[in-house]
Structure 1
């Protein structure tokens, strides 16, 4: 073909006939599954039929034309569809009809223009919001183009005329329109057409196409208003209600449970599907067999509801949206504004959700019923199955030697026929492994392996599959033991090791490690806990006592205390050695313990069902039950007396008497005291600072010093962070910082995360600390003891409740605490009112330097909202304060995320302690939006979670800040009385000493007592006879006086001291405890 002949030009009509796929879809016959009416005409069957997409499309265009008119023409009350034996199709609808008049511009009758001229439509103006299916100007004309005969009849009520016109030969030939007078009460549009069956490869309409056409009329019945009667071959269809229409697919409610939601523009039904995701959907009456954005919109809402519920049950669940969707059969009938589709065949809606003109929302009732369909349970089961399949990739198996696991010392017989007799030591770190290696020199390596844990094992009960798969330690243990995911073990011979022996320090963290290992086995292989020797632990002494050839070992402090009380001198003549960890033991001692391994081993057994106890301790959603468990543990104070000697311990006893000690300690570390507002680590820092001269010291050095003098047994980094936190004074940190920040201790820029390295910053006690925590109280405080060393007090008793001044946040096992900050002046006022037994003022949270607002939330007592500060001038939003808890750097990144969406740009004028952003924004957007919400200029505070330790060491929830003040006042007044009593006692003792010294000097100078050239015993006897007072069961305070003190001048000084002390004693007796408090506050 010559180049000039390669190019062709089609008319629109010729192009449609030459390229039908573009307009109506394929003209070829396909075998595919479709919904069609069953033989009894009581429901739909989903079966494989012969289907010609193009033929179905031209039929559907005519029917959709009638459905469209039903949505906009209130006079339309009837649609009739009939198909005769020759395959001639008639679609009729009543209504206002089509005007029988010529178009003002085109000089053609409007009915002819609508049905006989391509690219004509009343739906071209997209500025008008329409809820019909037509849009592109093809529609019913396509049926004309692909028909051998196409007749249009129109009755016009307005003109009392009738219009008839016929097209033939694929709309290429036509008759002249016939217009005549006709008396008509209703308008009418009737289309009679016979598809050009030859073009579709047919001689006549086949049975499968007839079934599809019939089914589509049932769709039309469900997609038209209630007033419209729909007929097929003169039989009226009775499925006007969309919910009833759904019955045709899934049976009635007794047969299939479903839920249904109907609003003005959305009808949605959902039921469980056991054979994958399915959908039936319509947009403005068009059957969107592929679905599209409207279905995705609905499905996303439903799936999110189910996933939210699953996550509320198990935060680590890895249920994907597809897992939920795969169990859904969803029905959607949507009315959208100006819908768009992926092609002229209109099988898939592509309109963006923001252009729908409405949204679908799941009502509370719909959501509640949704969770009862079984979809959620199957989605969770599918997720679990996939998790197990993924986790099984890290399975171990029983085999001989294994390689590639760092630090594993494998038993020689592990994985062999003797594996059931093998024991794997799981040790707390490398030092404990060294301890075990020393011990194995006594019992050999044939049956014993060692694997050191890197700290604490993962809590697998709350871990995601990804966390488990990525956890090197978990995978290593599975490989070493030969554990297989999901397997129920009936014999220990199926494993590489028949026993696990846990080797940890004899402290609460060691108990936690034991618990985590037990939890690991119980979560995945609970059958192994049935074997009474599978999990064991080696117990080592916490104290040893030595005296010459005697040696006693104690496995608990309580055992030691009982022994000590049986000794005449309370054990003081013995040498005591505390074993804080396995590292304290020598190699010789390790060998001794392993030599007597049976005496130092305990076995964990399952007499009763241990599951509820283990789950309680480690499952996240049991937090409320854990609270009571911990309270009971504190009150009962039960512990396990480890004795060794093949001791057997129930798993439930281990959880409730041993592991609980870790949980109690964790709460004590994390939750502050109501009295001084401090956690133990913070109290240790204050104690250390008061113990040394108050001069500047590096934070890193103070951390080391505090750890030494207060017996802090945790990480150095944790202590560094504690010190930095006590010194911070930016908005949102402390109202009154107890330490001075000498250097960069963090700012509002990053909420304190921008603090410099502890090696480069200095600190010391602040003047505020000295004013709030008085040294006068030190003698009457109760001090703790660690290994015989006196350390920090149980709590300090400040002059004001620091927990309200600086607030508190903490998370421990079962408990958390959140206390907002309050104004010290408000606190002082309420203390004074409390002392007068008057009603206290309500206090609002207050943060030093905060320039925004803090308001109570109406109708929600104890809840407050903090509001940033902003102003609007034309297109500028100026933000000069952020809500409490939001930091400048984070907010800058938030604004970055809004560019090109809600804002145009912004300028940052912030300093390290003062936020200042100028945001440029479209004024129309500002006028419509909620600035506080859109720009996240609020945060919430609450007094509803104020868990604190009271003066008796019990954890207590305080309802209001004033409850804290009332209780604090009682404790503070008690300690003022204790301080007063102590001062009186000290002054009285001082007066007695001074009086005795004066009398002693006078008697010596008057030769009434001779001290020269006499033995000490004789002098002591003289002092007894003269009834001198002993101090600490001794007269050394008199006998150690120097010669120059035995003078008249010293007597005068002592009498002056006596007078002054007497005056001081008199004054303190007159001073009330209230006066003492007032003086401290001045």
Structure 2
């Protein structure tokens, strides 16, 4: 007779706030990660602290914020009003405590409802908050959410404001490293959205006078803009837009209450619709929507009362109303563009003329591509039924309610042996594999036509689901997984060329990575260490002292699925592909894929030392 498990009051336990956050961090900060991706948890922690300082600025208190990151320690100092001294501990350690429940004080606040700094506190091995106001100062120190120390100074000459320092807990964020490029991008967005605010990051000053206009100028070279940026501002809305001369795809930067909604939402859908409607009405022609929006580069920021987001990390707006007496988000954006953009085009006929020519050109190109596109779509549909190239996963980036949606990854591999190893060792929920047959085509200088004519590119585009727009992207991370030899490097370069040429916003928005795989395995009977460089190999040999067995991996196919699981699991090492701000996409493509210049030979010799060593050994 089976023994029945007793279910009594003893089985039910209530987690306190910090235990709950530490047990389910994904619910509060999205994914964890190691800092190689812009949406990794360590940046969300920083964002939650800065959001509170931004709210102070918005309320008219404190014009500058100082941010310092030294190794693992982050410090954020604002010169706002300072947390009320008697509430310093409560504000960072009691759920549902904060100033943002009073909607009059924080009508269009960016911070989480009383959760933000508590999550940072619970997920940090060291957390210190210090508030100064009325010539007095109070501070409290915590470790993993537990109060360790607190002080009250009745007299201080410090300037008023709040200072928060924290060190993300290594038990939760494994082997993490802050990347300045990601922090810099986040801080720049804050100043674009808050003209008049100064942020100083590790001594470097960020300031914006022209808001979203500065953002577009910072991301795109002036030479690539078809016409000067159209910059429109209203009470709760700001828009900046232009068209690119060379880019095929649409590119949008969208914000709600200062939050970068990387996955768009109701406001971005409304903007895309209103843009087409306004332009159709201005020219009195029923243009195809895709022709109007082709090559558009735009930014939109709106302020909404009590916004509703589709995920805890607020990357997609779900609200349909602006709040208060205002109309719906859709009507509000539509009315604004209808008036402001229409006025602008009437006052600037030379811009209206350039825009019209651009739309007509897009229409011609679309018609030329129509036949090829239909064939390609039919081919993609047929092959998706039995697509040997794509082994899909269960969760996709659009599943924002799934707690692991940010971890969705597509590995692009070469050959059957490598894709076999990854396929057998992957996480079928969040990791998909696309296998290439040999070297992809060099797409440098070719037109979009080639994406449809080349079966491999067409199937890759279909797998990513980015033909119509980036909003439908199916995976958050696109990872190039090739061998670390000359052929692997070449395939890597050809794939980056494809993305730069046709889908540069994938790179601009931080979705493209290179998978780092170990070059050596050093082991003895007790321990196995995987090494990613010569230095790591030497350190492993010293650590194992005795007779260590050293294996050199020459290709991904040599690594067994049992071993591969280590390199694409919790300990995955990804190297983000980033654009050089000093170089336009055209210049980069010319440099890497154009005629073989002495400059490029010099660059390869200086930068590919590891790979050259490998070639010599092979």
Instruction: Give TM-score, length-normalised by structure 2.
Output: 0.52
| CA offsets 1:777-804 (integer angstroms, 9 cap, x no match) | xxxxxxxxxxxxxxxxxxxxxxxxxxxx
Runs of at least 5 residues in structure 2 that lack an aligned partner in the other structure: 375-618
Distance 2:38 2:5 in 1: 40
Distance 1:189 1:373 in 2: 52
1:156 maps onto 2:94 in alignment: no
Equivalent residues of 1:69, 1:76 under 8 A apart: yes
1:88 maps onto 2:73 in alignment: yes
Cα distance change on mapping 1:64 and 1:375 into 2, 3 Å: farther
Q: CA deviation at 1:137?
A: 2.0
Counterpart for residue 573 of structure 1: none
Equivalent residues of 2:88, 2:139 under 8 A apart: no
Distance 2:142 2:251 in 1: 41
> What secondary structure does 1:17 align onto?
helix
Distance 1:144 1:351 in 2: 29
The one of 205, 221, 232 equivalent to 1:261 is 232
**Aligned residue-pair number:** 353
The one of 237, 241, 246 equivalent to 2:206 is 237
1:165 maps onto 2:133 in alignment: no
Distance 1:164 1:60 in 2: 21
Q: CA deviation at 1:65?
A: 1.2
Counterpart for residue 183 of structure 2: 213
1:349 maps onto 2:327 in alignment: no
Equivalent residues of 1:155, 1:184 under 8 A apart: no
| CA offsets 1:916-965 (integer angstroms, 9 cap, x no match) | xxxxxxxxxxxxxxxxxxxxxxxxxxxxxxxxxxxxxxxxxxxxxxxxxx
Q: CA deviation at 1:147?
A: 0.8
Counterpart for residue 366 of structure 1: 344
Counterpart for residue 518 of structure 1: none
The aligned runs of 1:800-879 (5 Å cut-off) are none
Equivalent residues of 1:81, 1:217 under 8 A apart: no
The one of 308, 321, 339 equivalent to 1:340 is 308
The aligned runs of 1:390-469 (5 Å cut-off) are none
Counterpart for residue 192 of structure 2: 222
Q: CA deviation at 1:98?
A: 1.9
1:325 maps onto 2:293 in alignment: yes
| CA offsets 1:132-164 (integer angstroms, 9 cap, x no match) | 11243211211111111110010012xx21011
Cα distance change on mapping 1:332 and 1:2 into 2, 3 Å: farther
Equivalent residues of 1:327, 1:379 under 8 A apart: no
The one of 102, 108, 112 equivalent to 1:131 is 108
Q: CA deviation at 1:245?
A: 3.4
The one of 13, 16, 23 equivalent to 1:11 is 16
Counterpart for residue 268 of structure 2: 295
Distance 2:76 2:166 in 1: 9
Segment of structure 1 superposing worse, 359-368 or 258-267? 359-368
Equivalent residues of 2:21, 2:123 under 8 A apart: no
| CA offsets 1:378-412 (integer angstroms, 9 cap, x no match) | 44444455556668999xxxxxxxxxxxxxxxxxx
Cα distance change on mapping 1:251 and 1:197 into 2, 3 Å: farther
Counterpart for residue 248 of structure 2: 275
1:97 maps onto 2:72 in alignment: no
| CA offsets 1:700-736 (integer angstroms, 9 cap, x no match) | xxxxxxxxxxxxxxxxxxxxxxxxxxxxxxxxxxxxx
Distance 2:69 2:317 in 1: 29
Q: CA deviation at 1:272?
A: 1.1
Distance 2:372 2:45 in 1: 54
Equivalent residues of 1:288, 1:348 under 8 A apart: yes
Counterpart for residue 111 of structure 1: 88
The one of 247, 261, 274 equivalent to 2:217 is 247
Distance 2:4 2:38 in 1: 40
Distance 1:373 1:26 in 2: 46
Distance 1:253 1:24 in 2: 39
Equivalent residues of 1:94, 1:188 under 8 A apart: yes
Distance 2:372 2:208 in 1: 51
> What secondary structure does 2:137 align onto?
strand
Equivalent residues of 2:345, 2:352 under 8 A apart: no
| CA offsets 1:82-129 (integer angstroms, 9 cap, x no match) | 111x3211111102222213xxxxxxxx12111122222322356887
Cα distance change on mapping 1:9 and 1:162 into 2, 3 Å: closer
Distance 2:132 2:12 in 1: 46
| CA offsets 1:167-209 (integer angstroms, 9 cap, x no match) | 10x21x213421012344742100011111341221x524xx3
Q: CA deviation at 1:249?
A: 0.7
Distance 2:22 2:192 in 1: 33
Distance 1:148 1:241 in 2: 39
Q: CA deviation at 1:347?
A: 1.2
Distance 2:353 2:68 in 1: 39
| CA offsets 1:452-508 (integer angstroms, 9 cap, x no match) | xxxxxxxxxxxxxxxxxxxxxxxxxxxxxxxxxxxxxxxxxxxxxxxxxxxxxxxxx
> What secondary structure does 1:131 align onto?
coil
The aligned runs of 1:627-666 (5 Å cut-off) are none
1:54 maps onto 2:41 in alignment: yes
Equivalent residues of 1:277, 1:327 under 8 A apart: yes
> What secondary structure does 1:155 align onto?
strand
Cα distance change on mapping 1:129 and 1:300 into 2, 3 Å: farther
Equivalent residues of 1:70, 1:225 under 8 A apart: no
Equivalent residues of 1:281, 1:295 under 8 A apart: yes
Cα distance change on mapping 1:142 and 1:322 into 2, 3 Å: farther
Cα distance change on mapping 1:100 and 1:50 into 2, 3 Å: closer
Distance 1:52 1:192 in 2: 20
> What secondary structure does 2:180 align onto?
helix
Counterpart for residue 26 of structure 1: 31
Cα distance change on mapping 1:186 and 1:323 into 2, 3 Å: same
Q: CA deviation at 1:266?
A: 2.1
Q: CA deviation at 1:71?
A: 0.5
Cα distance change on mapping 1:188 and 1:270 into 2, 3 Å: same
> What secondary structure does 1:177 align onto?
strand
Equivalent residues of 2:62, 2:80 under 8 A apart: yes
> What secondary structure does 1:216 align onto?
helix
Equivalent residues of 1:68, 1:284 under 8 A apart: no
> What secondary structure does 1:212 align onto?
helix
Cα distance change on mapping 1:79 and 1:129 into 2, 3 Å: closer
The aligned runs of 1:280-679 (5 Å cut-off) are 280-310=253-283, 312-313=284-285, 317=286, 319-355=287-323, 357=326, 359-360=332-333, 361-362=336-337, 363=340, 364-368=342-346, 369=348, 372=352, 376-384=356-364, 386=366
| CA offsets 1:634-672 (integer angstroms, 9 cap, x no match) | xxxxxxxxxxxxxxxxxxxxxxxxxxxxxxxxxxxxxxx
Equivalent residues of 2:77, 2:164 under 8 A apart: yes
Equivalent residues of 1:294, 1:353 under 8 A apart: no
Cα distance change on mapping 1:18 and 1:75 into 2, 3 Å: closer
Counterpart for residue 121 of structure 1: 98
> What secondary structure does 1:61 align onto?
helix
Runs of at least 5 residues in structure 1 that lack an aligned partner in the other structure: 31-48, 102-109, 395-1082
Cα distance change on mapping 1:181 and 1:9 into 2, 3 Å: closer
Equivalent residues of 2:100, 2:106 under 8 A apart: no
| CA offsets 1:217-238 (integer angstroms, 9 cap, x no match) | 2222222241x32211122223
Counterpart for residue 551 of structure 1: none
Distance 1:120 1:82 in 2: 27
Bigger relative contact order, structure 1 or 2 (CA pairs below 8 A, ≥6 apart): 2
- Greater radius of gyration (CA): 1
